[in-house]
Amino acid sequence: MRKTNITFMAFLLMPILSFSQVGINTVAPQATFHIDGGKDNPVTGTPSIAQQVNDVVITSTGRVGIGTITPTAQLQTTGNMILGTAALTNGVTGYSTIVRNNTTGEIRTASSTNGNTYVFNNVIYQINNVSGDFINDLNTNINSDQYTLIITGSSFITANGGGLSNSSTGTFSPKNIYAYQSGGTWHLYADYRGGSTADGINGSWTINCLVINNTFMNSLGTVTSNLGGSSNGSAATPTGL
């Protein structure tokens, strides 16, 4: 009798040992471990996309699929995910931002090639002993393929606190300051156009900049408007907003 029981158990285990696949609610598992939550998979063959929606699998390579029987990453889900209450960062640094590839759906940590995982970076350029008030080209060496540099504020001063003068009496020299791309990096330009320091002493610029990871930037191009001599007008809505 004992020999008969052993033989019978061995017979039952043969399919599991042979195919190494376990199915719950399905007689045709498509992975090492396969749960058919809706009990709607076919007896043979591959379930349809609609039938896979309620399936969970673990493949022979350790990948987990939720809503798909062919996960292409360590964990793949075809539906929404919900995160319950989580602890707050309270302004503490050292956290990363998770982003999703709009084409593949792959989730990654936003980062530059050198490992910077911050969305926003603040930097202050203190540029001393410039030619009068003029900065024609300051190379910041910030990679323009990975970052966008935005000037958020600036100030100019001379060593003795002197003012500016204009070569044309009675005219005003407005401040012109901007960032531009050249040779794969961001550059700074700053000048009181048409003017210079009144006493000929070289001055110093303080330029505050915000450096943003390009993963989160979308360039909408240039919007041009002609006000026809008026002080009022309306611009076209940028394409993409």
Quick: pLDDT tens for 193-208. 888 888 888 999 999 9
Higher pLDDT pick, 200 / 220: 220
DSSP state string for 50-86: HHHTTEEEE-TTS-EEES-SS-SSSEEESS-------
Helix (H, G, I), strand (E, B) or coil at 4: helix
d(CA 34, CA 37): 9
Interval 211-232 mean pLDDT? 94
Length of the chain: 241
Give the E-state strand segments of the chain in sequence order.
Answer: 22-24, 33-36, 55-58, 64-66, 75-77, 98-100, 107-109, 120-127, 135-143, 147-158, 164-166, 175-182, 185-192, 195-197, 203-213
Average pLDDT, the chain: 89
The Cβ of residue 101 has, within 10 Å, a number of other Cβ atoms equal to 9
Higher pLDDT pick, 94 / 122: 122
Higher pLDDT pick, 13 / 175: 175
pLDDT at 114 > cutoff 80? yes
Q: Among 69-78, 86-95, 177-186, which is the least confidently predicted range?
A: 86-95
User: What is the model's pLDDT at position 84?
Assistant: 87
Q: What is the pLDDT of residues 7-59, one digit of tens each?
A: 555 545 555 444 579 999 999 999 999 999 999 999 999 999 999 999 999 99
User: What is the model's pLDDT at position 85?
Assistant: 86
Interval 168-188 mean pLDDT? 89
What percent of the chain clears pLDDT 70, i.e. is strictly above it? Answer: 90
Task: Label residue 240 by pLDDT band (50, 70, 90).
Answer: confident
Max CA separation in the chain (angstroms): 118
Interval 110-117 mean pLDDT? 88
What percent of the chain clears pLDDT 90, i.e. is strictly above it? Answer: 61
User: What is the model's pLDDT at position 174?
Assistant: 87
For residue 11, report the phi and psi dihedrals to the nearest 5 degrees.
-65, -40
Interval 181-203 mean pLDDT? 91
Higher pLDDT pick, 162 / 79: 79
Helix (H, G, I), strand (E, B) or coil at 178: strand
The Cβ of residue 14 has, within 10 Å, a number of other Cβ atoms equal to 10
Task: Label residue 122 by pLDDT band (50, 70, 90).
Answer: very high
Interval 3-8 mean pLDDT? 52
The residues near 92 (Cβ < 8 Å, ≥ 6 apart) are none
User: What is the model's pLDDT at position 17?
Assistant: 47
Whole-angstrom Cα Rg for the chain: 32
User: What is the model's pLDDT at position 138?
Assistant: 98
pLDDT at 157 > cutoff 60? yes
pTM: 0.75
